[in-house]
Amino acid sequence: MKFYWKQPMWPRSCQGHLVLKVAALALLGGLAFRVLFSPSVDFSPDSRSPVVDKVTLPNVPVRDNSVLPPTESQDEVDSSPGPEKCDLFKGDWIPNPSGPVYTNRTCRFIETHQNCMTNGRPDTRYLYWRWNPRNCELLPFDARRFLDLMRGKTWALIGDSISRNHGQSLLCMLSTVERPELVYHDEDYKSRRWHFNSYNFSFSVIWSPFLVKAAIFEDINGVSTSEVEMHLDRLDSKWTSLFPSLNYAIISTGKWFLKNSIYYEDGTVVGCHNCDKSKRNVTELGFDFAYRKVLHQVMDHVVTSGHKGMIFFRTSTPDHFENGEWHNGGTCPKTVPSKEGEIELKDLNRILLDIELGEFKQAKEAAEQSGVNLQLLDFTNLNLMRPDGHPGPYRQYHPFAKDKKAKVQNDCLHWCLPGPIDAWNDVIMDMVLNSS
């Protein structure tokens, strides 16, 4: 850039001073020349600019702040929230192109009512999803590693037909490594035990839908001929007699308590739930009364048992019946998972869950004092987002083969196999590994 100066007209009286000014300017010019071209001073473009894009701090020794009083800014950093704690039960269903590790053709443990593929379910998209916790890395179930961990041990699933459904899932996954031998069954094949000979591992499904002694009067389709007779103060010996010998157990119940029931304590009728008042003069206590009382007794038994294994309590499973329920035309037509918050937990399911979580919380505190390893499996959120995973009308073999518009009973409670319930095993294995 050029600068244009207009030469001034100096008066004669100032000419004497002009020489002194010229000399002074020469001296200043020399000083400026030295500063500009000296290697010890650097005026880079950034240092001359009034806008600072980046600040580079000098390379000085780092101080040990552990021996210094905290500054205000340090307090702010220390009090800021860190990474969220891993919660295996909060997450999303994401696409899984590889699909299930077994099929209806490779697994012989799938019972008819959950064998959706054999029964003709036409869509298959429900098979290609996996559970992905938001703040955890959840590895797929490793059947071989699981069996190695279970060498010489015993495991049981104790509860209702959902426990049996889960048992089929776990057996299907484990049988990709070794097929177990059936070594015990009751008369109705509801309670069974298998043995993995190479691993000396016993796996049982114990049928005890109420966890207490109860007389049930209904057929295979769930149609009752009379109220359930439930003894609230007598735990079911079918599971309590085996409990001390178990290394691992998953205990659960739930939906069966919604059935019409008569309640007994000490052999005497104390009340009922939705019973026929025309036949009995009995106080209506409600299912929540019985459920809370039974769970409290179950938890107390576990906590005071001195058990040295690992005991899980699993919350009840929400259903996805729409426009009705099991026996009055309810269906579950969804074919893809939902997102969190899209489906609201039904009031009855909420009541069951609140009782379960309340009783578990009390038991957990007591278990920590007694040294019992009691863990919670709350699959509510995981299950609620899978309305597509139920058999629906395909609990029966090709239900529409003869009539495309046939009205058939739907199952929107249990799970297709393979299906969403397989993800339970991913979570359980992670908990077992971390506990070990």
Residues designated as active site: 161, 411, 414
Paired with 272 in beta bridges are 262, 284
Inter-residue contact 161 to 99 (CB < 8 Å) = no
Contact 377, 311 (CB under 8 A): no
Structure tokens at 190: 């509801």
Q: Which residues are 156's β-sheet partners? A: 204, 249
Radius of gyration, alpha carbons of the chain:
36
Three-state SS at 317: coil
Residue 381 and residue 424: Cα distance in Å, rounded? 12
Taking the alpha carbons of 206, 211, 214, 219 in that order, is the dihedral positive or negative?
Answer: negative
Taking a C-beta distance cutoff of 8 angstroms, is the pair 248, 153 a contact? yes
Residue 223's alpha-carbon distances to 48, 187, 287, 303, 366, in angstroms, are: 89, 20, 19, 36, 39
Q: How many CB atoms lie within 10 A of CB 229?
A: 16
Q: Residue 315: name the closest of 368, 361, 275 by CA.
A: 361
- Peptide bond just before 393 cis, omega within 30 deg: no
DSSP string covering 206-245, please? EE-SSSEEEE--B-TT--BSS-EEEEEEEE-HHHHTTGGG
| Partners of 136 in the β-ladder | none
| Spatial separation of the C-alpha atoms in residues 243 and 303, rounded to whole Å | 12
Distance CA 257, CA 313 (A): 17
User: Could you give the angle at which helices 422-435 and 161-174 cross, rounded to 10 degrees?
Assistant: 80
Do 431 and 375 touch, CB atoms closer than 8 A? yes
